[in-house]
């Protein structure tokens, strides 16, 4: 009997010790990549940031801005995006995984302006503020959008194109997609300005390269071959513009075709300095990332957040690329 009692006591002591260990583990700190609640490591607020991609230098600059704000406001963030900007389903999976962690707020740059709405509605129902950045959605669920005025920026690109080709001629357009707000706004901003102000300029074709420079290269080459009198090209983002640069170089059309790009990055900067690209629009990606996290923190605190946050844009070319103002918004 004594032996049986001793065994029972030993089992009970083991159960108690295991329970205590499990309790300590639940209450311990977690990394930003494995967060299970509204707090990440220690007492920090957790805010996942889901971008449209990760491969372009633009997104790395957005990430840097978000990390700067996270340090300043003492919050924990994660920053991720699909391998390419054509992977809408992958981005939706990332959004679902982020919501499963029950964050305090979420930053989201939609690849598809409609596909994400059901999940964003779940966030709203759970009182998780959604901060859109770079690209909005067709919904009023996000409490704000931190982005460039893409229509105005693309219209400026059209004005520069018209100036450089003498107000007449054939122009081609390579756009990163026709599902995101940025893709649609940059396409329409450029095309509509040409139609409204420059009747002697004809847009002969618009193609969509998914933001992939290799696909955009092939599309641009095919367009040049189909339209031998082409005088200009507009590339609507980093991948699109780099694709156009590659196509112009491969077909030895340097100096014959005026190229206007969008975004920055080493390839575009080098192309402007060498003369292959005439100029480009640069956003303020560090500012976009910073303002996204800042707005999320303000929303969590119950503070007033403006319905739109215009992060600005600039046109740069050989004449101003080395100025302090432009250097501050370029990213390599």
Q: Are 89 and 205 within one domain?
A: no
Please give the pLDDT value at position 107. 98
Q: Which residue from 163, 162, 164, 133 is spatially nearest to 150, judged by alpha carbons?
A: 133
Q: Are 75 and 44 within one domain?
A: yes
Does the residue 330 lie in any domain? no
Q: Are 85 and 186 within one domain?
A: no
User: pTM value?
Assistant: 0.80
Helix, strand, coil percent values for the chain (each to nearest 5):
45, 20, 35
Please give the pLDDT value at position 42. 53
Please give the pLDDT value at position 80. 96
- What domain range is 52 assigned to? 35-148+285-312
Does the residue 317 lie in any domain? no
Q: Are 75 and 131 within one domain?
A: yes
Token pair of 225, please?
């071959």
Q: Where are the alpha helices (DSSP H) in 276-322?
A: 285-300
Please give the pLDDT value at position 156. 98
Q: How many helices (H) and strands (E) does the chain have?
A: 11, 12
List per-block mean pLDDT (blocks of 10 residues) for the chain, which spans 332 residues: 40 39 34 39 84 89 96 97 93 97 97 95 97 92 96 98 98 96 97 98 98 97 98 97 98 97 95 97 95 98 95 97 94 79
Does the residue 8 lie in any domain? no
How far is C-alpha 40 from the geometric centre of its chain's CA atoms? 24
Q: Are 250 and 280 spatial neighbours (Cβ–Cβ below 8 Å)?
A: no
Does the residue 270 lie in any domain? yes
The pairing of strands 279-282 and 314-317 is antiparallel
Please give the pLDDT value at position 247. 98
Does the residue 24 lie in any domain? no
Q: Which domain-ending residue is among 282, 298, 324?
A: 282
Kindly write down the DSSP assignment for every residue of 23-88, as one continuous string.
Answer: HHHHHS---GGG--SSB-STT-BEEEEE-S-SSSHHHHHHHHHHHHHHHHHT-EEEEE--SSTT-H
The total of structural domains in the chain comes to 2
Q: Are 156 and 241 within one domain?
A: yes
Q: Are 43 and 59 within one domain?
A: yes
Does the residue 101 lie in any domain? yes
Q: Are 208 and 114 within one domain?
A: no
Query: Could you give the C-alpha distances from 10 to 13, 17, 18, 21, 24, in angstroms and in order?
Result: 5, 11, 12, 17, 21
Q: Are 220 and 121 within one domain?
A: no
Does the residue 5 lie in any domain? no
Q: Are 136 and 182 within one domain?
A: no
Q: Are 308 and 259 within one domain?
A: no
Q: Are 246 and 292 within one domain?
A: no
Eight-class DSSP state of 161: H
As a whole number of Å, the CA-based R_g of the chain is 25
**CATH number of the domain within which 295 lies:** 3.40.50.2300
Query: Could you give the C-alpha distances from 234 to 64, 172, 187, 189, in angstroms and in order?
Result: 28, 6, 9, 12
Q: Are 66 and 120 within one domain?
A: yes
């Amino acid at each position: 009997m004594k032996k049986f009692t001793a065994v029972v006591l030993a089992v009970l002591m083991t159960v108690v010790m295991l329970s205590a260990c499990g309790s300590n583990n639940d209450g311990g700190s977690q990394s930003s990549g494995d967060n299970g609640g509204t707090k990440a490591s220690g007492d920090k607020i957790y805010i996942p940031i889901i971008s449209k991609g990760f491969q372009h230098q633009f997104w790395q600059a957005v990430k840097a801005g978000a990390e700067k704000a996270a340090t300043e406001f003492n919050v924990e963030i994660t920053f991720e995006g699909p391998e390419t900007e054509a992977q809408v389903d992958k981005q939706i999976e990332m959004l679902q995984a982020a919501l499963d962690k029950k964050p305090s707020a979420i930053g989201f740059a939609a690849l598809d302006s409609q596909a994400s709405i059901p999940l964003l509605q779940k966030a709203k129902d759970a009182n998780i503020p959604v901060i859109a950045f770079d690209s909005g959605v067709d919904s009023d669920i996000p409490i704000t959008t931190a982005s460039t005025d893409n229509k105005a920026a693309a219209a400026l690109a059209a004005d520069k194109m018209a100036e450089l080709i003498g107000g007449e001629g054939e122009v081609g357009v390579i756009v990163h997609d026709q599902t995101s707000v940025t893709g649609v706004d940059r396409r329409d901003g450029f095309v509509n300005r040409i139609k409204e102000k420059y009747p002697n300029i004809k847009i002969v074709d618009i193609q969509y390269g998914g933001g992939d420079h290799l696909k955009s290269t092939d599309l641009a080459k095919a367009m040049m071959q189909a339209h031998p009198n082409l005088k200009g090209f507009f590339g609507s983002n980093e991948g699109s513009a780099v694709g156009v640069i590659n196509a112009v170089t491969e077909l030895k059309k340097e100096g014959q075709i005026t190229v206007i790009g969008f975004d920055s990055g080493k390839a575009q900067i080098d192309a402007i300095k060498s003369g292959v690209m005439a100029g480009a629009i640069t956003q303020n990606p560090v500012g976009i990332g910073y303002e996204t996290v800042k707005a999320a923190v303000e929303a969590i605190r119950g503070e007033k957040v403006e319905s739109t946050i215009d992060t600005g844009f600039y046109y740069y070319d050989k004449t101003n690329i080395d100025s302090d103002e432009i250097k501050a918004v370029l990213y390599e």
